[in-house]
Amino acid sequence: MVVKNNIPSIVFIAPAIVLVAIFVYIFSGWSAWTSLTDWRIIGRMGKFIGIQNYIKLFAGDDIFRKCLYNTAKLIVLFIGITLPLGIICAIFLDLGVKGKGLFRAIYLIPLSFSFVASATMWGWMFMPDKGSINTLLRMLSLDFLTQPWITSTKQSIISVAIVYVWQFSGFATLVYYAGISSVDPDILDAARVDGANTFQRYVRVVLPLQKPATFTVLLILLMYSLRVFDLVWLLTGGGPAFSSEVLATYMYRVTFNQNLFAYGASISFFMFILSFVVIIIPVLIGTLKRMG
């Protein structure tokens, strides 16, 4: 009887379950198996070689280690700037600054841009000679502030982080503003009665209550920074000299430019495990804590 009553729900959910099972779990398993072979030729699977690809990956591939470092650096820069920026902007919105409606519309605009559009626009802005950023600095007689941006091995990954911060700071602001707006006014009134000024109320009352918002923003930003591909590929191409190459772009380059399908699969499966450890496990722990 219970099953019969839930048939409409099962019918609607079943396609999603099937697609997830095929394109996530089955193909992830296939990728894991492929990474244990030496497959290089389309139409013919390679022979089983065990964990040789992983040994080469961690013990003999300097570019892979560089990509791992670049990915970690991007995550630190991206999240380290976006989180506090989102909190600050949300607080200003909550304080009722002038032009609040206009500002709310402006900071959400980057969210509507695709990564392709963002990479194209910022690539033009970052051009050392004709880019709008350096051109504006020269017009203001601030030539000493002009930078090589994406053409520099030291600044290319920083440039990628700047674009990422620009694109996602509005999202962080939106989540934090929703969290701050949901704080019980009675709690704030009690803090005000106790003599807490505006700064103290935000630091000691409002911000400690934003752990759920922080958890949400952190997970989303981690997810996007771990799987970043199109923005890096179109903005810098992973260069110069692999200075902005990340795991996803290196996996693509190895797999489709060098036809090292099994080796590319080993990078892909490592990214899957890394994402599982960094993202899925904290979610499961948080869920279990709430249930307990």
CA 54 to CA 44: how far, in whole Å? Answer: 21
Model confidence at 176, pLDDT cuts 50, 70, 90, reads very high
45 domain-assigned: yes
Provide the mean pLDDT of the chain: 87
pTM over 0.75: yes
Exposure b/e, 139-149, CB count within 10 A at least 16 = b: eeeeeeebbbb
130 domain-assigned: yes
pLDDT at 290 over 80: no
The residue-averaged pLDDT of 91-108 equals: 77
Q: Which residue has the higher pLDDT, 5 or 107?
A: 107
253 domain-assigned: yes
- pLDDT number for residue 175: 93
Determine which of 168-172, 192-196, 248-252, 285-289 has the lowest per-residue pLDDT on average: 285-289
Beta-bridge mates of residue 48: 37
Amino acid identity, position 245: E
Domain that holds residue 171: 35-291
CA 240 to CA 229: how far, in whole Å? Answer: 16
CATH (domain of 127): 1.10.3720.10
4 domain-assigned: no
Percentage of residues in the chain with pLDDT exceeding 90?
45
264 domain-assigned: yes
CA distances from 44 to 47, 49, 53, 195, 261 (A): 10, 15, 18, 75, 11
12 domain-assigned: no
- pLDDT number for residue 243: 94
Q: Which residue has the higher pLDDT, 156 or 192?
A: 156
Amino acid identity, position 96: G
Residue of 215, 214, 204, 234 lying closest to 282 (CA atoms): 215
What SS3 class is residue 45? coil
Number of compact structural domains in the chain: 1
188 domain-assigned: yes
- pLDDT number for residue 2: 46
24 domain-assigned: no
Q: Which residue has the higher pLDDT, 125 or 60?
A: 125
* Burial (Cβ within 10 Å: 0-12, 13-18, ≥19) of residue 267: buried
